[in-house]
Chain A
Amino acid sequence: MKVPRCKGTRDLLPGDMAKFRQIEAQFRDCCLGWGYQEIRTPVLEYLHLFTSAGTLSPDMLGRVYSFLDWDGWSGERVVLRPDGTIPVARLYVENFQDLPIAKLFYVEDMFAFEGTGEESRERWQCGAEFIGGSRPEGDVELLSLALEAIARLGIAPVEIRLAHAGLLRTFLEGLGLRGEQEAGVLDQIFSGNVDVLVDIKGKNPELEKQLQLLFAMKGSSPSFVDNLRSVCAPSLPALEPSLDELARIASLLTGLGFGYRIDFTSGRSFEYYTGIIFGFHSMGRKLGGGGRYDELIPLVGGRSICASGFALYVDEFMDLVEEMPRRERILVKAKDAEGLRDSLEVARLLRDAGYIAEFDLGYKETGDFRWIVDMRGGEGIELIDQLSGKKRRESSPAELLRFLEGAGCK
């Protein structure tokens, strides 16, 4: 009986893995260049890491893979990591709390149930977290880092979409929503369902109208934030700090020449965000997103400290990046068991020089290779160019390498 793949999972084939490694390599290189250090958190975490208000929403918790471990008789459940940021916060509290700043990055898979089984339930992310970074400069650093990684992968144009979680929360509190009700509405908005606002019937019709307006308007300059301020802040002064922060980030991005759109309907987000939320969009796809989460570290047992981060969604990039040209493959044919040693030595020299040198004892199809190094004659090295059909004889491995380099095949 043929055993199928588990529903909602995918295999990464050689072509996929080549792209995956390319995305990972570019991201790692960027992060290391910006002074970030790589970490990896375990796939298994305790469920209760994610259950406090302000971590994951009930909607997301309803889709985590949770189960009892072999020693789980206490009823304490473990989960397959559903999110990258919260485990990093835990890791930070456990290891780096004494440092004023921690700049960390990871390439990890996240797990969430998806009902149809058509989309993958395992998703890879390249994420970076800046713990202790002041605002809004820390946010702008993360935005710049993410944009650099995206640009290195050859994806353009990219649109930054900005929103502000603190501003939304202040609005909902202004409408009289509190506690569970506020969290529920915010959860819906962060899940991309802004229609939930239609159902809000608070005591303040003026604020309701302003909130509708907030979701209807989009802007792309610091002036837009000034306009928002003049409309909203007089009736709800508590919005001022969030508006100030949004204005500063907008000014900084404008100054740096980054294009952006302020859009409060800009899609999925997380309950732990407290300040600026940003997303990266290109060709109709959301490539990643992030935001500020100043209250998360205390929630997982740490001290009060500012933090923000982002994640790029590897699966989205896989469909967009071009596969890098592969290194030249050379087939080395050996004479017999006695000639094996010389042939292995030639193959090793080729590999050291950066070629892919595959070894052959006469059973391999040769069609995939442009170059064949044939040592079966026992006298020197015969090089066959399968593209032109030409053959030549090299007196030594050094000659061979010189010729290949000259032929521009590297």
Chain B
Amino acid sequence: MQVKLALPKGQLQESTAALLEEAGFAIGDYHEGSRSYRPQCDDFPDILTKVFHEKDIAIQVAIGNYDLGICRLDWVEELLVKYHSDAVVKVGNLGYGKRSLYAVAASSSEAKSLEALESRSQSVRIVSEYPNLAESFALKRRLRRFQIFPAWGAAGVYPPENAELAIVAETSSNRLREQGLVPVATILESSACLVANRNSLQGKDLSRFLVALSCTDVGDIGVEEAVGVGAEAEAQRPVVGEPVVTLAVPDGHQQPHTVDFLNGAGLKIDGYNVGRPTARPRIGLDGVMVKVIRPQDMPLQVANGNFDLAITGRDWLRDHHFRFPSSPVEELLQLGFGRVRIVAVVTQDMPVSNTDDLRKLKRDSALRVASEYVNIADKYAHDNHLTPCKIIPTWGASEAFLPEDADVLIENTQTGSTIARHNLKIIDTLFESSACLIGNTEAMGRLDKREKISHLVEAMRRGVEAHPLS
């Protein structure tokens, strides 16, 4: 009987590969840096494996696409705290990848205890990659008014200027202190765990895995505990003071291009022009603060006034505007670099060559459209009357979803070579995207900000004109 196993990419990959090998299920081409999404278990051809972003694994197991999965407990709880499903069973703790989920404040913040936050009359802004656990935390702590900002990453960078709290995963509270953060509560202790689909556990023989992976019990999710403010933080963060203009610059793939562009525009940023940029690089302009965050998170952050300007992609701006049409964010400049096409992709075997064909295709079940761009995918499905349809949010490695776990993918591509390599084909180009400077329309009208914003925008405009990209 075929057993389907969902495996994590990223931090857990090496330990998971070692665990499987030790348990007698060595899986070729599943190791740190491997690019295969479907590594084979040579000794057991009936084991079907697929590699996912850790965050997707609990969801894939819960909906029954996979019998077993390995991911950290925090992602399982992030799913279960919102969707009280009994479809996913926490089978056991695998003992590695330990970390804790903390609610943290900046060490320079005045409100760095739960009591101070609970008594706060203004809204408490909470940033996290775990928005469901963040909401549950806020509700349990009876925070009167709060805002949850889901983030793709770098949540710890936000306090104190852009959030009162961040919910972050870290291996120790000392690591947080090094970043100028103070834990105010431990939300849960986490490590890699084996999860199973309940129906599979009830009806399929999974015993060889359950025995071989020798799990220990997974403890219940701990009630969060308040943490006393410890020794002075080693890295101090700035105290929130006079209004400054805040600029968000991207990490990840867009960082080197952005560095080149800013250098060309005469905007040198110390600490950004390196392999691993610091969270708060310095621009050397009075009253301008720069932070490095994920480009995906920028439109929402600019809309909320947490940042005045940001360098992101048009794709993410459009995804934001599809969800929040009246959002006060606009594109100020097209920067030209980082050109990609946003495309609809299916497998080579699917007998369609365009979206019209896709609409006419006879199906027995809802069309599954997977994408990191949830709102663009949703609009694509609506505009093209692809009905019935399910949108499946993904967190990377999206090509792996086709064809078993999705029918269509909305993805960005530069040359189309990755798509071709995975035996996929493009059936539609939704739009073209490249880097752009975005701004908050309200901030640009403020007297205390207008001049500095104009200065930055003009410098970038000159940069674009001096180094036009084809």
Number of A-B contacts (CB under 8 A): 55
The A-contacting residues of B in range 147-196, CB under 8 angstroms, are 147-149
CB distance B326 to A62 under 8 Å?
no
Q: Smallest CB-CB separation from B145: which chain A residue? A: A48
- Are the CB atoms of B144 and A73 closer together than 8 Å? no
- Which of B139, B140, B304, B320 contacts A74 (CB under 8 A)? B304
Q: Chain B, 195-238, contact with A by CB distance < 8 Å: what is the 0/1 string?
A: 00000000000000000000000000000000000000000000
Nearest CB of A to B259, in Å: 29
> Total interface residues on B, using CB and 8 Å?
25
Separation of A265 and B139 alpha carbons in the complex (Å):
26
Q: Is B125 an interface residue (CB 8 A)?
A: yes
User: For the complex, is B327 an interface residue (Cβ under 8 Å from A)?
Assistant: yes
CB proximity of B155 to chain A, nearest CB, Å: 14
Q: Is the CB of A73 within 8 A of B303?
A: yes
- Asked if residues A58 and B144 are in contact (CB atoms below 8 Å), the reply is no
Chain A positions 102-157 with a Cβ under 8 Å from a chain B Cβ? 113, 115
**B325 in the interface (beta carbon within 8 A):** yes
Which residue in chain B gives the minimum CB-CB distance to A46? Answer: B145
A71 touches B326 (CB 8 A): yes
User: Which residues of the other chain, B, contact A76 by a CB distance below 8 angstroms?
Assistant: 147
B158 to chain A, nearest CB (A): 13
Q: In whole angstroms, how far apart are the Cα atoms of A62 and B84 in the complex? A: 9
Question: Provided the pairs A71-B324, A73-B324 are in contact, do residues A53 and B142 lie with their beta carbons within 8 angstroms?
Answer: yes
Query: Cβ of A75 and Cβ of B139 under 8 Å apart?
Result: no
A76 to B304, CA, bound (A): 11
Contact with A1, one of B136, B140, B325, B388 (Cβ below 8 angstroms): B388
**A301 CB to closest chain B CB, in angstroms?**
11
Assembled-state Cα–Cα distance A115/B84 (Å): 7
Q: Does the CB pair A62–B147 fall under 8 Å?
A: no
Q: How far is the CB of B82 from chain A (nearest CB, A)?
A: 9
Q: How far is the CA of A62 from the CA of B125 in the complex (A)?
A: 20
Residues of chain A within 8 A (CB-CB) of B444 are none
CA distance in complex: A62, B81 (Å): 8
8 Å CB interface, A62-99 against B:
62, 68, 70-77
Tell me if B145 and A75 are in contact (CB < 8 A).
no
Kindly name the residue among B84, B139, B146, B324 whose own CB sees the greatest number of chain A CB atoms within 10 A.
B139
Is B140's CB under 8 angstroms from A72's CB? no
Indicate whether B332 reaches chain A with its CB closer than 8 angstroms: no
A395 within 8 A of B: no
| Chain A: minimal CB distance from B208 (Å) | 32
- Residues from 37 to 67 in A contacting B, C-beta threshold 8 Å: 48, 51-53, 58, 61-62
Q: Is A75 a contact of B147 with CB atoms below 8 Å?
A: yes
For B149, the chain A residues whose CB sits under 8 A away are: 75
Task: Tell me the complex Cα distance, A1–B387, Å.
Answer: 10
CB contact under 8 A between A180 and B142, given known A72-B324, A75-B148: yes
Interchain CB contact under 8 A, B142 and A74: no
Is B300 at the interface (CB under 8 A from chain A)? yes
With CB as the reference atom, state the residue of chain A lying closest to B365. Answer: A1
Distance in angstroms between the alpha carbons of A407 and B364 in the assembled complex: 58
Does any Cβ of A come within 8 Å of B143's Cβ? yes
Q: How would residues 118 to 141 of chain B score, 1 for a CB under 8 Å from any chain A CB and 0 otherwise?
A: 000000010000000000101111
Residue of B nearest to A53 (CB): B142
Q: Which A residues touch B304, using CB under 8 A?
A: 73-75
Q: Would A73 and B327 count as touching, CB distance under 8 A?
A: yes
Query: Are B139 and A51 within 8 A (Cβ)?
Result: yes
Indicate if the CB atoms of B136 and A48 lie closer than 8 Å.
no
In the assembled complex, which residues on chain A have CB atoms less than 8 Å from the CB atom of B146? 48, 51, 75
Nearest residue, chain B, Cβ from A299: B144
14 A-B residue pairings within 8 Å (CB atoms): A51-B146, A52-B142, A53-B142, A58-B142, A70-B324, A70-B325, A71-B324, A71-B327, A73-B300, A73-B323, A73-B324, A73-B327, A76-B147, A183-B142
The 7 closest A-B CB pairs, nearest first, are: A75-B147, A73-B303, A53-B142, A73-B324, A48-B145, A61-B139, A73-B327
Interface contacts beyond A71-B326, A73-B304: sample of 9 additional A-B pairs, CB < 8 Å, sorted by A: A48-B144, A51-B139, A51-B142, A51-B145, A51-B146, A58-B142, A68-B323, A75-B148, A180-B141
